[in-house]
């Protein structure tokens, strides 16, 4: 089984071919960072226009790299959401057109499920496993029970970790995207110089918050009389350390819940763009070792948005008979666990009644 995957949910335009033996046959990607750097973040209209301009070329290039034609594919998978809706529409309509012409299944992939299933492509791990999904738009702890079956343990109540990296990098004048530039700058810094808060650390539950940390960085900058390159490096290091501490604390809480509720689970997986951060990987490795869990982090190139994960999620879905009709509507929002909010409301109501 060979699947074409298309990813256009944010600022990467990508196409890839993957088969059901876990072979990546070819992939092509256009990074849009240079287009958005002048604005300090992704501009949705610019992103959508770039997707429209380049997606056909990238699909053709990937076909050439795999020595395939569209007659060889068994299905087309595209990110159907969540994401910037203009870009999502470009990918979905392209995939629908190919599926209709070739008379093969169209599979709409939840972008988060693409990240969630990447570890099964790279490491062939069984369900269930605990997933820390941490990226520019999302920060969640989920139990991956099966294809299409996810149980959310925690989520951010404001900014995602990657979003905080981008905004703090802009404050520090380091550029975009924030994750890589802060990590590079932090290598020269002293994380102990500035005492930044660790929002939600030690609190019950597994939710995250990064807005207050971002505000603390801005207030620290405003109090400084002289800002040198070393000051910037120290503040970047302090911020990175604070984010890591919060992520580890929340994940440790989730591990305890995972152990109790899913005793057959044996792995802790990290995915999403922030999963490329080496400090975070180091601390997650130590946490997993202490908890006697297998720690899995996909290769760095498969942590950020890519079409390989979308094609693989398509393989996972198609081989158990999941596919979509051509009237599927692209979704700017698409929770992996749609019942999570309902459970949280019921839990909050029970707590209120008990008081």
Which structural domain, as residue segments, surrounds residue 308? 2-116+302-340
On whether both 169 and 315 belong to a single domain, the answer is no
Give, as one character, the DSSP assignment of residue 324: B
Q: Is residue 352 situated within a structural domain?
A: no
Q: Is residue 206 situated within a structural domain?
A: yes
Q: Is residue 153 situated within a structural domain?
A: yes
Q: Is residue 345 situated within a structural domain?
A: no
At residue 136's C-alpha, the angle toward residues 108 and 332, to 5°, is: 35
pLDDT of 320 reads: 97
CA distance to 153, 205, 297, per residue, from 254 (Å): 7, 8, 17
Per DSSP, the three-state class of 121 is helix
d(CA 304, CA 273): 4
Domain with residue 170: its CATH number is 3.30.420.40
Query: Rounded to 5 degrees, what are φ and ψ at 151?
Result: -120, 110
pLDDT of 39 reads: 85
On whether both 81 and 135 belong to a single domain, the answer is no
On whether both 89 and 147 belong to a single domain, the answer is no
Q: Is residue 349 situated within a structural domain?
A: no
On whether both 172 and 202 belong to a single domain, the answer is yes
Q: Which of 86, 105, 100, 84 is nearest to 305 (CA)?
A: 84
On whether both 73 and 108 belong to a single domain, the answer is yes
On whether both 152 and 167 belong to a single domain, the answer is yes
Nearby residues of 329 by Cβ (< 8 Å), 6 or more positions away: none
On whether both 186 and 135 belong to a single domain, the answer is yes
* Block mean pLDDT (10 aa), the chain, length 355: 97 96 97 85 92 97 97 98 97 98 98 96 97 93 97 96 95 93 97 97 96 96 96 98 98 97 97 94 98 95 95 98 97 92 60 45
Q: Is residue 97 situated within a structural domain?
A: yes
On whether both 139 and 47 belong to a single domain, the answer is no
pTM of the model: 0.93
d(CA 229, CA 234): 9
On whether both 183 and 281 belong to a single domain, the answer is yes
Q: Judging by beta carbons within 10 Å of its beta carbon (0-12, 13-18, 19+), is residue 328 exposed, middle or buried?
A: middle
d(CA 117, CA 273): 14
pLDDT of 344 reads: 66
On whether both 9 and 88 belong to a single domain, the answer is yes
CB 40, CB 110: distance < 8 Å: no
On whether both 22 and 43 belong to a single domain, the answer is yes
On whether both 54 and 154 belong to a single domain, the answer is no
Q: Is residue 162 situated within a structural domain?
A: yes
Q: How many domains does the chain have?
A: 2
Give 271's strand partners: 133
d(CA 295, CA 298): 10
Q: Is residue 355 situated within a structural domain?
A: no
């Amino acid at each position: 089984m060979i699947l074409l995957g298309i990813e256009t949910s944010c600022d990467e335009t990508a196409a890839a071919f993957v088969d059901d033996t876990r072979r990546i046959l070819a992939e092509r990607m256009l990074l849009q960072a240079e287009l958005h750097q002048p604005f300090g973040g992704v501009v949705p209209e610019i992103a959508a226009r770039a997707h429209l301009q380049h997606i056909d070329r990238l699909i053709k290039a990937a076909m050439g790299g795999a020595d395939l034609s569209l007659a060889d594919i068994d299905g087309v998978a595209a990110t159907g959401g969540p994401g910037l809706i203009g870009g999502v529409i470009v990918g979905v309509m392209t995939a629908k057109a190919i599926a209709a012409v070739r008379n093969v299944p169209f599979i709409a992939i939840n972008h988060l499920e693409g990240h969630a299933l990447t570890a099964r492509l790279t490491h062939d791990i069984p369900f269930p496993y605990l997933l820390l999904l941490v990226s520019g738009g999302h920060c969640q702890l989920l139990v991956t029970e099966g294809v299409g079956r996810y149980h959310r343990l925690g989520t951010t109540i404001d900014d995602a970790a990657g979003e905080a990296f981008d905004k703090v990098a802009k404050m520090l004048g380091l550029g975009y995207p924030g994750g890589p530039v802060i990590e590079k700058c932090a290598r020269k810094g002293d994380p102990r110089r500035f005492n930044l808060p660790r929002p939600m650390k030690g609190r019950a539950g597994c939710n995250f918050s990064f807005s207050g940390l971002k505000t603390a960085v801005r207030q620290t900058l405003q109090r400084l009389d002289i800002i040198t390159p070393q000051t910037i490096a120290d503040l970047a290091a302090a911020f990175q350390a604070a984010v890591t501490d919060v992520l580890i604390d929340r994940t440790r809480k989730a591990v305890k819940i995972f152990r109790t509720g899913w005793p057959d689970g044996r792995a802790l997986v990290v995915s999403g763009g922030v999963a490329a951060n080496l400090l975070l990987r180091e601390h997650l490795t130590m946490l997993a070792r202490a908890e006697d869990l297998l720690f899995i982090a996909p290769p760095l190139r498969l942590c950020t948005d890519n079409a390989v994960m979308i094609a693989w999620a398509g393989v996972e879905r198609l081989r158990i008979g999941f596919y979509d009709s051509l009237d599927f509507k692209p979704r700017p929002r698409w929770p992996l666990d749609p019942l999570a909010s309902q459970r949280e409301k019921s839990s909050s109501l029970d707590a209120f009644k008990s008081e």
